[in-house]
Amino acid sequence: TKSTVPVGTGDEVERIIREANPSADVSVASNPEFLREGAAITDFKRPDRIVVGTQDARAEAVMREVYRPLYLNQAPILVTDRRTAELTKYAANAFLAAKITFINEIADLCEEVGADVQQVARGIGLDKRIGPKFLHAGPGYGGSCFPKDTLALVKTAQDAGTPLRLVETVVAVNDQRKRAMARKVIKACGGSVRGKTVALLGLTFKPDTDDMRDAPSLAIVAGLQDAGATVRAYDPEGMGHARTLMPDVAYAEDAYACAEGADALVIVTEWNAFRALDLGR
């Protein structure tokens, strides 16, 4: 099983197989993937670690053989029991979601006390115990993994009678942050956007993908439209999906056409193409 699945799924799959065909020569292993959307091939060829959940020696040998071509990169194979492998994937994603949410809350504090969150992030990220990854303040996490996996982990923990209060708070803070972004735009426009045009650059939950699942832009657009704004948007890859989710947004041909005549310009997704824009123009 490659998919991120609730703890105990492998046990249930094995139970079904044994029940359906007691003589079947089958071993069920968990092999969660740690691939980033937009960089999956690179992550597969140069993995940080390979986790295999099985207590069957033959299954372990098969899985080691499957990954043998990657050994030149010295990727460590961690062999655990099946439930541990299933939970490792959830714990990893929840921790990364917590890092994002932490720096976002620090960003709010920085704005109030006159500090620079990017320098704070660099200052703490240089600590090897913390590391620089996932410390980029922004409009909150989205996509197919973090929202789903944090909620699943919260539910699993509640069912087990050991609630994960930290992860529960991460989920709540991240949801609130997306709407708060719209309020920041309204505040920057003098307290009202009624009758104004707000241009959005970037709609997908992160760059290098067309994925709109749980994208912060959805909540930002809704908040701006609720406040009476006309929203115009441009995204290098995501507009096809965005049109079905937000049909009452005006979609532009490029970033400059999106910005032209707008009262405010909001960069939502950090596409490299937006880093190269002529901001004066």
CATH number for the segment(s) 88-177: 1.10.1040.10
Domain 9-85 - what CATH class? alpha beta
Start and end residues for every CATH 3.40.50.720 domain found in the chain: 9-85, 181-275
- Spatial distance between the Cα atoms of 168 and 162, rounded to a whole number of angstroms: 12
pLDDT score at 69: 87
Instruction: Indicate the pairing of strand 197-201 with strand 230-234.
Output: parallel
Where on the phi/psi map is residue 164: left (φ > 0), alpha (ψ -120 to 50), or beta? beta
**Catalytically annotated residue among 110, 145, 189, 258:** 145
Q: Where in the chain is the domain with CATH 1.10.1040.10?
A: 88-177
Domain 181-275: give its CATH superfamily. Answer: NAD(P)-binding Rossmann-like Domain (3.40.50.720)
Q: What angle do CA 172, 82, 15 make, to 5 degrees?
A: 105
First to last CA, the chain: 51
pLDDT of the residue at 98 = 98
Distance CA 238, CA 9 (A): 33
Q: By the 8 A CB rule, do 207 and 38 touch?
A: yes
Q: Determine the 3-state secondary structure of 243 from DSSP.
A: helix
Residues of the chain with pLDDT under 50: none
For 88-114, write each residue's pLDDT tens digit.
999 999 999 999 999 999 999 999 999
258 is catalytic: no
* Secondary structure class of 226 (helix, strand, coil): helix
Strand pairing class (264-267; 197-201): parallel
| Spatial CA neighbour of 205 closest among 169, 255, 248, 241 | 241
